[in-house]
Amino acid sequence: MIPLVLVHGFMGGSAQWQHQIPAFSAGREVFAVDLPGFGARNRSPAVTSVNGFAEDVLAGLDAAGIGQFDLLGHSMGGMIVQQMIRLEPRRVNRLVLYGTGPRGRLPGRFETIAESKARAESEGIQASARRISATWFEDREAAAEYPACAEIAERTGLLAFQGGLTAMDAWDGADWLKDIAAPTLILWGDGDRTYQWAQVEELWRKIPDARLAVVPGCAHAVHLEKPGIFSQLVLDFLGNDTSQPGRRSR
């Protein structure tokens, strides 16, 4: 089976896919990315453009000898994978855009990108990481998976935090949606505080071969709030071919 590439979102890391890796790697190789400045690569230099992140992931896939692949991106990672398919359209077999949108300015977000930048400077990165990651859950700090998610978010340095927000704020992929030829699944939690329905609907209506899955009672972290449902939706979309299983992270 074709490899599956997982691209996490802002202040995330490959460790956030712990519930999905066992299911996703049954019969296929899974390549779970750590973006520069985040997760296990939190000491790498900060990147300030979505295109820079996309080129970094593609370079990692080249180094790993991965040619064609299925591709899943969450949040900022969803913007990155849209840019990846723009750069290398023939390499992407199937695409999952999860909790994301085509516009990086994030209209309707729980706070503006400028506010997030200013608060990180004033209150410190750890406080900002915990505050923002709480918004990703329907039950906020009371969610069972919140502590582990917040711990990953706290690894983010200030330069990577500011760089990621700068990258998102400057990116707009709406004009390119019509050119996405890969079959695409749009997956969204109906309580998402970061990406509003208008963004999700734009993906669904403008990508030619798009399917939509809305999971009720979740916010921005469906894969942590309802991991079984999330994994089944993705696996059903990707199909059930078999080859050599495994997992790599970077």
pLDDT of residue 242 exceeding 50: no
pLDDT of residue 84 exceeding 50: yes
Structure tokens at 240: 């059930």
Render pLDDT for 19-76 as a digit per residue (tens, 0 to 9): 999 999 998 999 999 999 999 999 999 999 999 999 999 999 999 999 999 999 999 9
Q: What is the pLDDT of residue 240?
A: 47
Average model confidence (pLDDT) for the chain?
94
CB atoms near residue 164 (< 10 Å):
27
pTM for this entry: 0.94
Q: What is the pLDDT of residue 1?
A: 86
φ, ψ at 20 (rounded to 5°): -90, -30
Question: What domains does the chain contain, in order, with CATH numbers?
Answer: 4-249 (3.40.50.1820)
Nearest one of 11, 232, 203 to 116, comparing CA atoms? 11
pLDDT of residue 102 exceeding 70: yes
What DSSP state is assigned to residue 19?
Answer: T
